[in-house]
Structure 1
């Protein structure tokens, strides 16, 4: 008499017939778990999975560090103490030259390209917890270089090396969030990653607004030092964090996966049903040959899913989000004085923070596709208006036009953070197959960052007074790119709201048309 063991169901079986019945039981458990997920509301999900909410938010703290550093650097370009210590005299005032702005700004996008791709390997070898803890420890080490430097060359080295580590968090956070949260609030917790980005940017701008009035090195050294706060918090909580149950299942550690599910949920949840559904999804992807390597992201089973992941994330850059890092400088160059520029950049990001919170309501009520496409359309229109305002005669003499451009850019940022900002994270987590989710997210992040490298090089030359000095005309550039992105988004982004990972696997396998996703019935 042999034994058949599947998802915690052990059946003594004298023949293959009994083994088949065990598989039928397993299938029924998975179907029941799917039905439970579909019937669960957002508030029920939060009540039943409070630990999943907390730990997903905890892993997303790394994103705050990722966003804080480039925003801090972009704001420092408009700070007088930083300009004096690291810049040069130009027409009676100190500035950081466009080539040095470009070089310093390369740390983050290059880090995302390299770090996001490389971190996929340790995440699969050692798991999410150990990889996250190692990366946070390295971040704490490289902050020393930024804090103590008084040389722009050393600062450049610190930004490049530190950026490699910061780039890993854009893969770790969405992967973990998508793997520990049930469908009821999966979109909210992956969208929360955008809130962490905005929080990091807002904190950096707020700190700079406060320290910009100092006339010594503490104007920039103090903000650099604040970056040690997050590693202290994260490393203190890391020993208590549960591992991703999806990763444990792929390692064949089913008992540990069930224990992780128990830690992430309330006692009233039957985690054997959830485990059964996850194992069945894993087996389905094995049958579909989704694979597990980076090359598999581009195979026949995954190519469409990878294209969508890359497209929704790269569109953030094409639409103009890298202007956020230069917000204070941009406001200064189009006519506001230094103090008003810093204050405006803080308000700019505060609006983004509120909009991201509002996106959770939108994600609950409307589909991902609708929010993304409508948001991108409005952003495109706003960019063109900003560009046309810059064509006004005697532009410099009309402060009202300058203020109008500033307000429109703030509105643009608000629309971004209620639409394509958070929804991009939801989409690339949901469309990717679970077996290659880490690698699909890494590929999308690397692709976005490569576009970001181009923008990091281009934007200083487009807006700096010693270069093209486009001012608000940059709206034509990003508006034009947004039109192309909008056409792609309309034809390629499917509706994924209310679908389990198994259902999405089947729909992509059956090559369901983009606009048919919303009403497609699984048979």
Structure 2
């Protein structure tokens, strides 16, 4: 794919190799000298366009949040659930919770896995536009579903498009933003996701007392509100300069770079363009092609492992339990109204925590934040499980409120560390020519494990099944502890590294634990870092 374009880039690189290399070094020095505030001032439009693409993840977060809150919504449960007698009442069976819950992750798996090819062939903008069109159609199917089978089909089809957004948004942000903003704006992907969940909680709370069909149809209709905004913004948005260079459209890439930045002595468009060309040229020389198979060859194997594993840990260390927050609160013994109130508060905490993650990333590296994050989650989860084992648990409501508070703490830790940093790591860890493929593989792998969690959690929580309640904390706490060990040995530090520097360190097989202090200049003269 793109062989003719690669040959053209190689030809340019051979003729001007030394000049490109020198200008690339200038761009790297400028990138390292920029602070966050200065980068925002110099690249305001890069922030705007990255935010536009990130806003698509609001829809992803909203869809996943609203479907779980429906299980605590009396009107929805009565419409699609089964009556289990006076003791339990109406409940959407674990089987159908699985089917509805799996619609989005199964769809996301397919959407993410297939997204990279059209993104590389037709560009980021065209794929985004087509995705918006199909999102509009599938919302219609969800809203007017007369039975649970149609609703499940709507969730699955919408999930395919949402998988495309999950690949598109971080890929685009990584390609339009300078190094200083790469982490913050990719962490913003998680913020968009949390905003979607927050809106879903608020909408769910607003319709909780309704007993008619609009109790669950209004929440679906709300999703239409942001599509026109995204479509209008997309019309004016620039294409990715990295993609344009790979297609041999260097002049267009230069024009895009000028649109993204203000004129300033600290902005050297020609040097930035040379850095993109030099990095692309180097990767063409090292990598045989841009297929998924290339992601598992040579130094790319370790990069792909990191991208996949951080996404998997993000899914199986507690977010699945957080997604069931409202339902969990109700099962713990809180009233329906209080459960929805706690659900809204839980997503508000997630919003604040994600904003805090920007501060954390200014002082600490990706590796530190992620590793300590899963460690903190393990502690909170084990305590949640321990409280559920207390004598006379069901007769002591204080334990239910304590678990609810701990779930809020768990949410803060997750959304302040693992959640946003996960987006940063898998968006920047892959080689630039394989970025969309790497992000797609990570997203698809996460979706597979999300499917597993979607199947397992209803059986863990439901009163008509295992009825573990808070004891699920032991399960997720154990997984989080394993994640800490993996992070220590396998997670490299990527903070403050350009894509060119990351290429060098992975090709030099620098141990993950030594990425933070590794000196590129030492490696060039053959000495140890």
Please, what TM-score do these two structures have when normalized by structure 1?
0.95
Q: Deviations over 1:155-203 (max 9, x none)?
A: 1111111111111111000100111100011100000000011111110
Measured after TM superposition, the shift of residue 91 of structure 1 is: 2.4
Corresponding position of 1:144:
140
Corresponding position of 1:14:
none
Is 1:41 matched with 2:39?
no
The aligned runs of 1:363-378 (5 Å cut-off) are: 363-378=361-376
The aligned runs of 1:311-322 (5 Å cut-off) are: 311-322=309-320
Query: Structure 1 CA distance, aligned partners of 2:294 and 2:41?
Result: 37
Corresponding position of 2:413:
415
Query: Structure 1 CA distance, aligned partners of 2:448 and 2:413?
Result: 24
Measured after TM superposition, the shift of residue 25 of structure 1 is: 2.4
Is 1:162 matched with 2:152?
no
Measured after TM superposition, the shift of residue 232 of structure 1 is: 1.3
Measured after TM superposition, the shift of residue 154 of structure 1 is: 1.0
Q: Kindly indicate whether the alpha-carbon contact (under 8 Å) linking 2:20 and 2:277 is maintained by their aligned counterparts in 1.
A: no
Q: Deviations over 1:195-234 (max 9, x none)?
A: 0111111100110001111110111111100011121111
Is 1:504 matched with 2:495?
no
Q: Kindly indicate whether the alpha-carbon contact (under 8 Å) linking 2:372 and 2:484 is maintained by their aligned counterparts in 1.
A: no
Q: Kindly indicate whether the alpha-carbon contact (under 8 Å) linking 2:197 and 2:347 is maintained by their aligned counterparts in 1.
A: yes
Corresponding position of 1:297:
295
Query: Structure 1 CA distance, aligned partners of 2:285 and 2:511?
Result: 22
472, 483, 486: which one aligns with 2:484: 486
Measured after TM superposition, the shift of residue 240 of structure 1 is: 0.3
65, 70, 73: which one aligns with 1:71: 65
Query: Structure 1 CA distance, aligned partners of 2:355 and 2:255?
Result: 32
Corresponding position of 2:278:
280
The aligned runs of 1:307-386 (5 Å cut-off) are: 307-386=305-384
Once the two structures are overlaid, the 10-residue window that deviates more, 442-451 or 152-161, is 152-161
Corresponding position of 1:128:
124
Once the two structures are overlaid, the 10-residue window that deviates more, 444-453 or 426-435, is 426-435
Q: Kindly indicate whether the alpha-carbon contact (under 8 Å) linking 1:288 and 1:509 is maintained by their aligned counterparts in 2.
A: no
Q: Kindly indicate whether the alpha-carbon contact (under 8 Å) linking 2:318 and 2:377 is maintained by their aligned counterparts in 1.
A: no
Query: Structure 2 CA distance, aligned partners of 1:396 and 1:27?
Result: 68
Q: Kindly indicate whether the alpha-carbon contact (under 8 Å) linking 1:174 and 1:425 is maintained by their aligned counterparts in 2.
A: yes
Measured after TM superposition, the shift of residue 344 of structure 1 is: 0.4
Query: Structure 2 CA distance, aligned partners of 1:243 and 1:422?
Result: 24
Corresponding position of 1:186:
182
Measured after TM superposition, the shift of residue 121 of structure 1 is: 1.0
- 3-state SS in 2 of match to 1:119: helix
Q: Kindly indicate whether the alpha-carbon contact (under 8 Å) linking 1:289 and 1:301 is maintained by their aligned counterparts in 2.
A: no
Measured after TM superposition, the shift of residue 127 of structure 1 is: 0.2
Q: Kindly indicate whether the alpha-carbon contact (under 8 Å) linking 2:370 and 2:418 is maintained by their aligned counterparts in 1.
A: yes
13, 17, 20: which one aligns with 1:26: 20
Q: Kindly indicate whether the alpha-carbon contact (under 8 Å) linking 2:383 and 2:473 is maintained by their aligned counterparts in 1.
A: yes
Measured after TM superposition, the shift of residue 150 of structure 1 is: 2.3
Query: Structure 2 CA distance, aligned partners of 1:91 and 1:411?
Result: 35
Q: Kindly indicate whether the alpha-carbon contact (under 8 Å) linking 1:67 and 1:198 is maintained by their aligned counterparts in 2.
A: yes
Q: Deviations over 1:58-108 (max 9, x none)?
A: 001111111111210100011011111111212222111110110011111
Measured after TM superposition, the shift of residue 122 of structure 1 is: 0.8
Q: Kindly indicate whether the alpha-carbon contact (under 8 Å) linking 2:198 and 2:344 is maintained by their aligned counterparts in 1.
A: yes
Q: Kindly indicate whether the alpha-carbon contact (under 8 Å) linking 2:58 and 2:192 is maintained by their aligned counterparts in 1.
A: yes
Query: Structure 2 CA distance, aligned partners of 1:475 and 1:91?
Result: 29
Q: Kindly indicate whether the alpha-carbon contact (under 8 Å) linking 2:322 and 2:407 is maintained by their aligned counterparts in 1.
A: no
Query: Structure 2 CA distance, aligned partners of 1:176 and 1:428?
Result: 13
Q: Extract unaligned runs of 5+ from structure 1.
A: 1-5, 12-18
- Cα distance 1:219–1:362, how it changes in 2: closer, same or farther (>3 A)? same
219, 222, 246: which one aligns with 2:218: 222
Corresponding position of 1:471:
469
- 3-state SS in 2 of match to 1:158: helix
Q: Extract unaligned runs of 5+ from structure 2.
A: 1-7, 522-529
Corresponding position of 1:174:
170
Measured after TM superposition, the shift of residue 290 of structure 1 is: 6.2
Q: Deviations over 1:234-275 (max 9, x none)?
A: 112211010000000110100010111111111223211100
Q: Kindly indicate whether the alpha-carbon contact (under 8 Å) linking 1:143 and 1:227 is maintained by their aligned counterparts in 2.
A: yes
- 3-state SS in 1 of match to 2:416: coil
Total equivalences in the alignment: 509
Q: Kindly indicate whether the alpha-carbon contact (under 8 Å) linking 1:288 and 1:301 is maintained by their aligned counterparts in 2.
A: no
Query: Structure 2 CA distance, aligned partners of 1:362 and 1:326?
Result: 27
Measured after TM superposition, the shift of residue 483 of structure 1 is: 1.3
Query: Structure 2 CA distance, aligned partners of 1:515 and 1:153?
Result: 49
Q: Kindly indicate whether the alpha-carbon contact (under 8 Å) linking 1:88 and 1:94 is maintained by their aligned counterparts in 2.
A: yes
227, 231, 235: which one aligns with 1:231: 227
Measured after TM superposition, the shift of residue 301 of structure 1 is: 2.7
- 3-state SS in 1 of match to 2:465: coil
The aligned runs of 1:235-250 (5 Å cut-off) are: 235-250=231-246
Q: Deviations over 1:298-329 (max 9, x none)?
A: 11131000000011111011201012221111
49, 55, 59: which one aligns with 1:61: 55
Corresponding position of 1:112:
108
Query: Structure 2 CA distance, aligned partners of 1:49 and 1:486?
Result: 36
459, 475, 498: which one aligns with 1:461: 459
Corresponding position of 2:4:
none
Corresponding position of 1:260:
256
Is 1:88 matched with 2:82?
yes
